[in-house]
Amino acid sequence: MILVTGAAGFVGSALLPVLLSQFHAVTGVGRRAHDKSHARLRSFGVGNIDGATKWSTELLGADAVIHLAARVHIMRDSESDPLAEFRRVNTEGTLNLARQAAAAGVRRFIFLSTIKVNGEATHYGCPFTTSDLPAPQDPYGISKHEAEVGLREIARTTGMQVVNIRPTLVYGRGAKENFKSLMSLVARGLPLPLGSINNFRSFVGIDNLVDFIVTCLEHPAAANETFLVSDGEDLSTPDLIRRMARAMNRPARLLSVPVWALKAGASLLGKGDAMQRLCGNLQVDISKSRELLGWSPPVSVDEGLRRAVGGDW
């Protein structure tokens, strides 16, 4: 039996049907119990996840845990101490679950971390790798890094196998925040002043991420390893927009405005960080995932974008 936290979230909603289709018994956990219509699905609501959450009922009979639940990156955080709040959920909550999982005899614990553990940006042609020294720069990335460190210690002292997965930006049907906003702008046919950007960024489609998680669930070589995951094809911002527009059967309207002018204007509007993400590089090297696990992304970028936009546009 597999325990999946964050089962009703973006990744969890895509993962559960795949696990159930492969004849796994699944316990899905979210803030509230959800659909129990499948014979092999148990569902529980646990409310908030932190260092005091009790997991004995949910862990009953579990052989593996896939921990997706997290306090996610927030653009405008209203907390007076964001780092403390991220640590409460992402660090203390994760390690509390892992300790109880080890005590319950769980064989493997898969933790969905973030590429932000590596850092916020790369130089062109110098992608992040798993051998890089961690360099998280925001509370979300720091809390995930601290959870990874604690999980490795739990693995060392208990024998429970741990797998840390650091995805890049995940896109797909139901994605929110930046990707959804960009899709909306492209769908409306608005001219976008991003045609002069010359960068490379790694992304991962939801179907590729789910496939990778399932691979890590059983592959013996995944035990006690850290992996980066992406689609295996890096895109510039203009290329992403063109291919997104093609998936929607819309024209891509790109204006060539100098990057310095974009950054200056965004800074004046208080959007400097967002513009940096559109203009900067963030590439990852997934050769370890390919070589150690024999894994390749099963879904191409163009197919992933076609599935992401669906028929809504």
Counting beta carbons within 10 angstroms of the beta carbon of residue 249, is it exposed (0 to 12), middle (13 to 18) or buried (19 or more)?
exposed
Other Cβ atoms within 10 Å of 306 Cβ, number = 16
Active site (annotated) includes residue 171? no
Q: What's the sign of the alpha-carbon dihedral 222, 176, 85, 275? A: positive
Task: For residue 78, give the amino acid letter.
Answer: S
Q: Which residues pair with 67 in a beta bridge?
A: 5, 111
Q: What b/e sequence results for 198-222 when a residue is b if at least 16 CB atoms lie within 10 Å of its CB, and e otherwise? A: ebbbbbbbbbbbbbbbbbbbebeeb
Q: Which residues pair with 2 in a beta bridge?
A: 26, 64
The residues, ordered by sequence, that sit 6+ positions from 148 with a Cβ below 8 Å of its Cβ are 111, 113, 117, 134, 164, 226
Alpha helices in 226-300 (DSSP H): 237-248, 259-268, 272-279, 287-293
Sequence-ordered strand ranges (E) for 46-147: 64-67, 108-112
Active-site position among 10, 44, 109, 140: 140
Q: Hey, what are 197's tokens? A: 């950007």
State the catalytic residues. 140
